[in-house]
Amino acid sequence: MADYNGIEALLASTDNLVQLVNNTGHDDDTLTFEGVDWFKYNGVAAKSIYVSGNSWFGFGTNTSQLYVCQRDCKLWNFWREEGTLFNYYKFLRLKWDGYSAYSSTGDDVRLTYEVYLFSTGDIFLNVLRMPTNANYLGTSQLVCTGGTKALIVTSGQALQETFTHTNEDGSDFTAAAGLIDIKAPYDRKYLVSDKSGKYYTVDAGALKEVTAEETYISVSGITLQTALWVKPSYNLVLRDTGNARAYVFPLQSGGHYRITLTEIGDRERIATTASNPTAIEAGGSVSTVRIIKNADPVLGDVVEFTAASNEAWCVVHVSSDGTEPKTAIEKHISALVNLFKTSGVEERPSGSLLLPLTDPVLLFWQDSLDPLPVLEADVTAMPFPQTVLTENVDMTDSTILGIEKVTADADDNTLFAVSFDGGTTWWNYVDNAWAQLSEAQSGMTKAALADIGTDAWALKATTGHYMFRFILFEGSYVNSIVVDYLN
């Protein structure tokens, strides 16, 4: 059985559908297919699914309960799939394909739809192809003990309808148009980081910087006495005790046992005294834990006992002082995971919030070993400013006496600079004086360039050469730079 990371992934896939009817016409007959025992409809487990060529379904009972364009139809193809969502929720997927007229295979009466049963107790109808001929839409409704839920169908329009159960025996449902909402059974959170390593959450529609420290939390499932099963051969045996796992193994054959702790992640610690927690790496061990056989915990250090060959179990007491598990085992949470737990947001932050950050990163975390969902983003990129250099123009001709003025056909944002030494130094003219530029992407506007007078040009244009540099920003342009000479 396949597992899907969300309802959208399930609907998009057809790889695991098993075809049970292949291009074989079924008119007025009813077919029976394997159902599931975990779904109830009208108090009956849907162990068998009854499917009519006239386009109705029965869940556990051979009677019409879900009608989809029900009339004198004809079924030609049928598929079945069983699997899970998020490695947690079970589903049964049933796909009906045929025509809403028994005597026609025209496109105008083609009908294709899927019915999903979920272990949540809910039903989802996904009509992929609705007849375009309005005279062949038939009857569409869900009939249950709680009443009939009529569906609104429109010729030629796909339909999604969710039937949400209102009681455990599936005898009544509420109907609502739209995609069924099945959320992951664990936490999923977003955070944002930037180039400097800072972390941000979203608060009141704006980014807010957040920090966190590593912590330890008490592990659930550790009680005063926790039974750990061991094989008669004293090989290593695991018992899941909640968020942690505990192992019991012999130090030597026929000798005494000690408890070893390992965690599904980073590390744990156990308090040897209430004020002295000792961190242990995953798979490490401690010997300051009382281990007893068939008795209540008592004060003292580790109690050794000889294991008989037929011994099947022992009772382990984990505590800070030998009386009750006040501190017991604590699970380590790294600073980043703690930050997700305490400050992460469930909705993906808006892209506009990331614009002020340098090299922003969208971080996603889920409290599960399931594969992470694929995150996609539509990015509008802004080009970096572009630097353009002209040729080094020779003005040593005897007929050229100097530069009268310079004008540019350009936008107002483009920045200009001029060099008289082949690009070694760059200058602009500001406050009636030439000023050397130190920044590679700086300069003056086209208006400032045009305002440079003949006398000002004469002060710098003494080398017989000049070249221009201009900086283009997003949307900028330069069509021409015109130099008027004095002759």
**DSSP, residue by residue, 34-102:** E--SS-EETTEE-SEEEEETTSEEEESSSS--EEEEESS-EEEEEEEEEEEETTTEEEEEEEEEEESST
The structure tokens listed for 222 are 């550790």
Q: What is the pLDDT of residue 436?
A: 96
Percent of the chain at pLDDT > 90 equals 62
Strand 48-52: give its sheet, edge to edge. 30-34, 48-52, 56-59, 66-70, 139-144, 147-150
Question: Which DSSP letter does residue 354 get?
Answer: G
Beta-strand relationship, 74-85 and 2-4: parallel
Mean pLDDT, residues 354-371 taken together: 84
The structure tokens listed for 75 are 């079924």
* Least confident residue range of 41-50, 278-287, 381-390, 391-400: 278-287
> What confidence tier does 136 reach under pLDDT thresholds 50, 70, 90?
very high
* Least confident residue range of 159-173, 258-272, 319-333, 456-470: 258-272
Mean pLDDT, residues 188-211 taken together: 93
The structure tokens listed for 163 are 């039937």
Beta-strand relationship, 66-70 and 139-144: antiparallel
Burial of 471 (0-12, 13-18, 19+ CB in 10 A): buried
What is the chain's Cα-based Rg?
A: 38
Better pLDDT: 268 or 30: 30
Euclidean distance between CA atoms 218 and 122, whole angstroms: 36
